[in-house]
Amino acid sequence: MSRVLRYLPKAWLSWSAGRVARSSSSRLLIPWFARHYGVDRAAAVVPEGGYANLQQFFCRQLLPTQRPVDASPRVLVSPVDGTLGASGVIEEGQLWQAKGHRYSLAALLGDAEAASRFRGGRYCTLYLAPGDYHRVHAPTAGRVRTARYIPGAYWPVNPQAVARIPGLFTSNERLVTELETGGGQVALVMVGACLVGGIRVNYDPAWNAGPGPHRAAERHYDPAAVFARGQELGRFEFGSTVIVLSEAAMGGETAALPGGCLHFGEPLLKF
C-alpha cells in the first residue's frame, strides 16, 4: 500500500478532488455519498435551495439540537465526531501513532519550545471518516494567541495507513492551534490528508491551508481570539485527523476506549 502511494501525486489528487467537489455538477453525487458513508442527512442544516455542491455537503452544519456540549469544568469535550485512536501520556517527548510506531511531539508541533509545554501531558488522536461531520470545535473555553502552519505530504490517515506508515502525522500538512485555558495549555493539531481539499480556521480566515505549495509560518494574535466551549474553530473539506494535547498540570484520563466513536461535545478527557 505505502509503496504504491509513495509514487502517486497525492497533492495533485487532493487539489483535483477539491476542484471536483466544488463544481456545481458534484451535487449529483450527494445522494450516493450519503448512502455509501451512512450520513444522517436529517441531522444537518440544509441551505435554502439545497447544497450547492459536494464540498458544501462535506462541510455541512449540524442542527443545534444534535450535539449537546458537556458543560462540566472537569472535562475536555471531543472537538469532532470521530473514532478515538491512540491516546495516553506523552512520555519522553513521544506519542504513539499505532502499535510499533511512535513519533516526536516536537516534530508534530514544528517547535521544540512549544513541545516542552506538553511533556508529561496527555494526547488523544481522533480520526474523521469521510462520512463524519467535518467541523472542529473548541474542547473548552480559551484564547488563541498562537497558531502554526507546517507544510507537508498528503498521505491518507485512515486506520490502515496509520498502522503501516511510520511518522505519518509528522509527515503530513498540519495546522496547530494553541488554546490558553483556565486550567492550562491545550493544543489542537489538524492533520491534512490525501483528498483533503483544505484546512480552514475561523480565527484567521486569511490563513487557510490546502493542497499546493505553502511555507511554514507562525502567527500571533493580539488581542487573542476568544472561544467558548464548543464554539466552532474550523473545518476540514474532507475527513482527516485531529490530535488533542493537554499540559501535564491538567492531569486527567481519557474518557473513552480506543476504537470507540465519539460525538462532538462528549467527554474526551476527564480531570
Told to judge if 36 belongs to the known catalytic residues of this protein, a careful annotator would answer: no
**Across the beta sheet with 199-201, what order do the strands follow?**
135-137, 232-236, 199-201
Report how far residue 125's alpha carbon sits from residue 115's, in angstroms, rounded to the nearest whole number: 16
Is 14 catalytic? The answer is no
Secondary structure of residue 5 in the 3-state scheme:
helix
Q: Catalytic residue at 25?
A: no
For the chain, the distance separating the N- and C-terminal CA atoms, rounded to the nearest angstrom, is 40
- Is the Cβ–Cβ distance between 189 and 240 less than 8 Å? no
Omega prior to 156 cis, within 30 of 0: no
Residue 96, number of CB atoms within 10 A of its CB: 18
Choose, from 14, 111, 137, 246, the residue flagged as catalytic. 137
Contact 191, 165 (CB under 8 A): no
Q: What are the residues whose beta carbons fall under 8 Å from the beta carbon of 116, sequence distance 6 or more? A: none
Name the active-site residue from 14, 26, 240, 246.
240
The catalytically annotated residue of 26, 70, 81, 132 is 81
Q: Is 81 exposed, middle or buried (0-12, 13-18, 19+ CB in 10 A)?
A: buried
If one counts every other C-beta atom within 10 angstroms of the C-beta of residue 182, the result is 8
Q: Can you tell me the distance from the alpha carbon of 136 to that of 139, in angstroms, rounded to the nearest whole number? A: 9
Query: In 3D, which of 103, 235, 124 has the Cα closest to residue 172?
Result: 103
Residues with catalytic function: 81, 137, 240
